[in-house]
Homo-oligomer: A and B are copies of this chain.
Amino acid sequence: MSDSTTDDALDTRERMMLATLRVLGDHGYAGLSIQRIADEADLSKSSFYHFFDDKDDLLLSFLDFMLARYGLPFEQESPDGPKAELDAYLAFALDGVTGDIVIPLDDFDPGSGRPYVALRSQATFDDDYRGRFTDIDANIHDRLADVIERGIDQGVFRDVDVHATTELIMSVMLGSLFRRATSDQVDVDAVRTQLDTVLESHLYADD
């Protein structure tokens, strides 16, 4: 991997990552090759080896690239408090919207979660991927649980089972993502509305 950190290098890297995203979305993991990504990015195949050792190295970086974006709403505590933080995360996870910033899902993630699901499905049999997604999910779990704990401490959330509540929310989020990426039979708006109803009566303290 090159140690170049000029703007040009960063731009090239970004182009490679976005091309990887598109190839994954169009051809799945099985159809992924450096050649195909190079063609998609309009770069030479050899230019990839300035940045990455091999396809696995590229995909590891790609995972970091996706996570840096998916993890966005948790980067800092919101001045508006835990309820606003949870709401921002659910909006991000279920609607592709974070706060005032609408993430252009078609640009970032063509087909809404398809590259993520294609990559993650490797974890069904590849232990390296499985370990990676276990860490990623543990991180999301801990951050979500932290938001809920702070809400309880501040009296804006009820004294719920933090772990079980976190687990249910994670299944709803990842289930909606999985369904949207693999089927046209999913109504994410209905899921969101129903989840809000559930949180309203189970989690949010009466005003």
Q: A residues bordering B, Cβ < 8 Å?
A: 25-31, 111, 114-115, 117-118, 120-126, 129-130, 133-138, 141, 161, 163-165, 167-168, 170-179, 181-187, 190-191, 193-195, 197-198, 201-202
| Chain B residues whose CB sits within 8 angstroms of the CB of A163 once the complex forms | 187, 190
* Residues in B whose Cβ lies below 8 Å from that of A172: 168, 171-172, 175
Q: A206 vs B38: C-alpha distance in the bound complex, in angstroms?
A: 61
Which residue of B27, B185, B201 contacts A202 across the interface (Cβ within 8 Å)? B201
Partner of A187, one of B135, B167, B178: B167
**Provided the pairs A122-B28, A202-B198 are in contact, do residues A170 and B175 lie with their beta carbons within 8 angstroms?**
yes
State in angstroms the CA–CA spacing of A195 and B202 once bound together: 11
**In the complex, which residues of chain B have a beta carbon less than 8 angstroms from the beta carbon of A135?**
185
Contact of A186 among B126, B137, B183, B184 (CB under 8 A): B137
How far apart sit A28 and B172, CA to CA, in the bound complex (Å)?
25
Q: How far is the CA of A170 from the CA of B178 in the complex (A)?
A: 11
A190 to B164, CA, bound (A): 5
Q: Which residues of B contact A111 (CB under 8 A)?
A: 124-125
Tell me how far the C-beta of A115 lies from the nearest C-beta in chain B, rounded to whole angstroms: 8
Known pairs A161-B194, A202-B198; A185 contacts B117 (CB<8 A): no
* A172, closest chain B residue (CB): B171
Q: Considering the complex, give the chain B residue whose CB is closest to the CB of A118.
A: B124
* B191 pairs with A171, CB closer than 8 A: yes
Given A117-B121, A174-B175, decide whether A186 and B201 contact each other with a Cβ distance below 8 A.
no
Residues of B within 8 A of A138 (CB): 185
A31's closest neighbor in chain B, by CB?
Answer: B125
Q: Is the CB of A25 within 8 A of B117?
A: no
Interface contact B114-A124, CB-CB below 8 Å: yes
Determine the distance from Cα of A173 to Cα of B186 in the docked complex, in whole angstroms.
Answer: 13
Contact of B124 with A181 in the complex, beta carbons under 8 Å: yes
Asked if A176 contacts B184 (CB within 8 A), the reply is no
Inter-subunit contact B133/A183 (CB<8 Å): yes
